Amino acid sequence: MNDERLLSVSDAWDPHVHVDGNLVRASKDVRNLLASTFGLVADLPAEVETGCGRRVAFAATSPHPERVTCLLCREYAGEQHRQFADQLESLFGMSPGAGVAPGLSVSAEDAAKAVALHRDIARRFAGDG
């Protein structure tokens, strides 16, 4: 994000709930995978950059569409989940009639569930579900 757009937590009181700017890559599932693989877990940051470009306390963010009140963050999160679903679809070779790409240890059913999950989350951020 542009540094000019970043506002610090101390700039103004902000009543909104935001999304972490790294919401797809910084999920609890990613943290759990890294912890189980390497046995180490980093501390959660005190502040994070949000989807709207502000820096807020990590506690003022949520990955749940029903809790996010910042409209710019909702738009950002919806787009991020749509893009991630598209990337998964491309990675898993999920064109009609195609199986999962060779060498991946993910079943076609699991791949389809992951894509559907992120598309559903994107719809919920857009207010369509």
Q: What is residue 119's predicted lDDT score, i.e. its pLDDT?
A: 96
Per-residue pLDDT of the chain (129 residues; tens, 9 = 90+): 444 445 444 456 789 999 999 887 766 777 777 788 888 777 778 899 999 999 999 899 999 999 999 999 999 999 999 999 999 888 877 554 555 556 667 777 888 898 999 999 999 999 876
Residue 115 · residue 91 · CB < 8 Å? no
Sign of the torsion angle spanned by Cα atoms 57, 63, 70, 55: positive
Q: What is residue 26's predicted lDDT score, i.e. its pLDDT?
A: 67
Distance from C-alpha of 127 to C-alpha of 75, rounded to nearest angstrom: 10
* CB-side neighbour CA atoms (13 Å) of 127: 8
Tokens linked to 98: 């195609």
